[in-house]
Structure 1
């Protein structure tokens, strides 16, 4: 039986390449074929924004290198997509989905993009995303950008794609690439991964460098792996991590970062693990169907030896309100990013982007730009506002010290377990890691997952528990990609 592209994992691909059955160049061509048939035709899910014109040459060169010296890493020859807010110093643009930045080329790779090239990955293209990571306006649907249009959920096109890493999730779900990289400020990896039936790992802020990523919030932003299996997500994570002199957040991981996270892939990882369920507040929006899927997942974990602490409520959950942190940090962070694009860049400030949109309203302002305007005219960009400082301190207190930390300490927990991405608001403000894993499907065919969350740099425990659950409850299935038009 020949190599099967659909649902192929990184280990399976490497085995096929090692045997000579497959080359990286052939693999890129296979993905091109699926993109042509289903992303830009047929169901037209619209997840791929731009393809790297040199991808085939890069893949062929890596094939030559493999034959001569062997693979660099498990990612050697693996085609992947990057979210369109991650810089690549090549022939592709980095626009965050904005027409104002449609002609913007980065002068060099983002730190993580350079790490991927070093590992031998093929950066095949850029994934579509919610414009400016869903910070452009109120009421814009997830997965929409003025440059790329609307990403559709391949499981049910009437269901949202979720989060701003929509294209990254959908491309992986549809087997348009092996793995992808998304970014998250508050749910933008977890949410689309949940709705796309894939694994999404949102790491501790600081585990992966943010240098060269068009930002939203300096205190909450992070990139992370998106994959169809926990193992593939971890293999990608290995290549992404590292201390970066340009990103102070990465310095906090000294002595806590692991060279190889595959060491924590433990099929018996649930045995004896103490898992807390914060029932209060976080379950209020669940449908009966979703609740049944979640409770069924708990039954699986109990059978595998987990100790379920139900309920382990977070006492501050209802105190966490709107925060001005992201609004204030956006102007400051974006300005710093634009300044590094060089003197030839057309967009030099947030105001330049707003003015461009005003000058091209039909193309750019289908849903408006109220959030961009608020960030420009109600914040200074200096992070000195009293409200900002108070909100930042409140977020840390309610979400971190008196929230997750206090709950896990009180109940002696290894992790908290949330339905889908419903815990993203509290984990993101704490800067803490989460991983979402598929748990089931609704009667409408929409995926529904569970999300393990822990404290800073406790990715090893998340990986162990998520992998154990996946190995004993592997229910992921690819979308049919049938067009009903």
Structure 2
């Protein structure tokens, strides 16, 4: 599907990111994609190239503003008008060319952004099976982490994370239901921002859950993420969750360059940092950097109630069946799947879809039809993550923000046994509550990037971004550069 450019013709090598960090034009990025995505380490991060990108760049640069001519990749569960299909990584949608721009994409274009192409992802945003390998899709194959190409790129926005770490675009758009922006940001050593649910439109985005889904920026700096948020945020009449967005959005870049941690009380979620000595040492150094910058740190002991995750899963199952069916029926094509049951049947008929892992979560979702049980689960999970979770932790400890490591080091890619999450981080609190969550690089463990999570209250997106920018300036740990090699080589 991807427009392939011959790396040998372009005479580009898979040089480290720093050598090409200043690439700004569409042609620069296409050369970079040819060198490290189509050839060399073959990251499989970019699924498709917009064939009109160079032409659109000319018009985009005529739009005055800070995003003029910036090349951005879009996760392939977000619709983009033109010849590119929106596949969610599945062969069932490989020909789904809708001719529609998702409102978030239309906003980017209006601001002068050039849509460079689509990124690979974990198929169906990683909701098909509990034993999947992050970054694998039947359409795009397995995405690799540029810091260690035999290690996971994590989360469903894996292609977006890998692509930005590798310098394949100025920025990318990811989507998250629970961890799918922040985890790939962490393990790929970039910035990822999951905004408050309802700040960015979800219309024409392949869904999992209207309660938790959102799109967000994946960038090299907090400033770039804030710049993208200025374009992304806003009310969409077709998405009821965004009714307050116009009221709540702000100039997210205003004051960012001088934002300070002085006097800011920050809650430290110590139990969510895991027990790996090197990771704990890295986290302690990040905390010391924040303290040196004037932050007041408050140690918090928190244990997530098990029923929170249990009820979240019930919500995701019920809403997946309902929301996916509504999306499929909205597609312009008369043929093709129209329900989750149709997708299940398609996968059974196409063994290449089920070679590495099954679709037991799809099947569970198809059987989850008790509306009353779903509504009770949503009310309880939202209460435990929001009012009795983040809200209570902030209030009782008199802090403005919460921090923890985002995720542990990237684990080896394992298509046979699937992902090996290590239980580090507290991002599910922000995901279930729908509150803002930023992951900022804080260093590495054995060359594998680790992110620092910064979470805040609902609609407190600007404060979270300001804290992230202030931490970036205070950070003393070295941020690793991609090696494009296997780990340890």
- Same fold by TM-score, threshold 0.5 exceeded? yes
Aligned counterpart, 1:76: 68
Task: Please give the per-residue CA displacement for 1:335-370, whole angstroms capped at 9, x wherever unaligned.
Answer: 111111124341222122222211111345431211
- Confirm or deny: 8 A CA contact 1:314 1:404 kept in the other structure: no
Distance 2:455 2:134 in 1: 24
- Confirm or deny: 8 A CA contact 2:148 2:448 kept in the other structure: yes
Equivalences, count: 454
Match of 2:56 among 55, 58, 76: 58
User: How far has the Cα of 1:373 moved from its partner?
Assistant: 1.7
Aligned counterpart, 2:11: none
Aligned counterpart, 2:86: 94
Aligned counterpart, 2:302: 314
Distance 2:241 2:372 in 1: 23
- Confirm or deny: 8 A CA contact 2:73 2:118 kept in the other structure: yes
Query: How do 1:157-236 and structure 2 match up within 5 A?
Result: 157-236=149-228
Q: Confirm whether residue 394 of structure 1 aligns to residue 380 of structure 2.
A: yes
Aligned counterpart, 1:240: 232
Aligned counterpart, 1:426: 429
SS of 1:261's equivalent?
coil
Q: Confirm whether residue 146 of structure 1 aligns to residue 146 of structure 2.
A: no
Distance 1:166 1:55 in 2: 22
- Confirm or deny: 8 A CA contact 1:5 1:30 kept in the other structure: no
- Confirm or deny: 8 A CA contact 1:45 1:154 kept in the other structure: yes
Cα distance 1:264–1:187, how it changes in 2: closer, same or farther (>3 A)? farther
Q: Confirm whether residue 414 of structure 1 aligns to residue 400 of structure 2.
A: yes
SS of 2:471's equivalent?
helix
Aligned counterpart, 1:274: 265
Cα distance 1:48–1:316, how it changes in 2: closer, same or farther (>3 A)? closer
Aligned counterpart, 1:468: 470
Q: Confirm whether residue 442 of structure 1 aligns to residue 431 of structure 2.
A: no
Unaligned runs of 5+ in 1: 14-23, 66-70
Distance 2:163 2:72 in 1: 9
Aligned counterpart, 1:403: 389
Distance 1:235 1:75 in 2: 8
SS of 2:244's equivalent?
helix
User: How far has the Cα of 1:314 moved from its partner?
Assistant: 3.3
Distance 1:120 1:345 in 2: 35
Cα distance 1:398–1:145, how it changes in 2: closer, same or farther (>3 A)? same
Q: Confirm whether residue 37 of structure 1 aligns to residue 35 of structure 2.
A: yes
Aligned counterpart, 1:107: 99
User: How far has the Cα of 1:264 moved from its partner?
Assistant: 3.7
- Confirm or deny: 8 A CA contact 1:267 1:471 kept in the other structure: no
Cα distance 1:9–1:411, how it changes in 2: closer, same or farther (>3 A)? farther
User: How far has the Cα of 1:477 moved from its partner?
Assistant: 3.9
Aligned counterpart, 1:342: 332
- Confirm or deny: 8 A CA contact 2:290 2:474 kept in the other structure: no
Distance 2:174 2:275 in 1: 25
SS of 1:291's equivalent?
helix
Aligned counterpart, 2:277: 288
User: How far has the Cα of 1:254 moved from its partner?
Assistant: 4.9
Query: How do 1:359-370 and structure 2 match up within 5 A?
Result: 359-370=349-360
Cα distance 1:315–1:44, how it changes in 2: closer, same or farther (>3 A)? closer
User: How far has the Cα of 1:42 moved from its partner?
Assistant: 1.1
Task: Please give the per-residue CA displacement for 1:112-158, whole angstroms capped at 9, x wherever unaligned.
Answer: 01101111111010000000010111211100111110001111233
With 86-95 and 473-482 compared, the bigger mean Cα shift is at 473-482
Task: Please give the per-residue CA displacement for 1:39-98, whole angstroms capped at 9, x wherever unaligned.
Answer: 1111111100011111111113334x3xxxxx4321111111000000112110101100
User: How far has the Cα of 1:290 moved from its partner?
Assistant: 0.7
Q: Confirm whether residue 453 of structure 1 aligns to residue 455 of structure 2.
A: yes
Cα distance 1:373–1:456, how it changes in 2: closer, same or farther (>3 A)? same
CA RMSD between the two structures: 2.1
